[in-house]
Amino acid sequence: MKKFMDQAREYVEKQDEQVDQGIEKAGDMVNERTGGRYKEHVDRGVEMMRSRTGEGDQNR
């Protein structure tokens, strides 16, 4: 399992922009399907996830 997690972490770091776009798209889909009822929570979660991906924006 550790090897898989290391590979996933490496991919995320190399593909930061694409991963951030995917996170943003997922957040938009959740907002759309819930009619925006949880927009503040979803947006906060999206920003939290984006801040933890890639080399330039890690907050660990």
What confidence tens digit (pLDDT) does each residue in 1-55 have? 899 989 888 887 888 888 889 999 999 999 999 999 999 999 999 999 888 876 5
Six token digits for residue 27: 């957040």
The per-residue DSSP string of 3-48 comes to HHHHHHHHHHHHTHHHHHHHHHHHHHHHHHHTTTTTHHHHHHHHHH
Q: What pLDDT, on a 0 to 100 scale, did the predictor assign at position 44?
A: 96
Residue 60 confidence class, pLDDT cut points 50, 70, 90: very low
Does the pTM surpass 0.85? The reply is: no
Q: What pLDDT, on a 0 to 100 scale, did the predictor assign at position 53?
A: 79
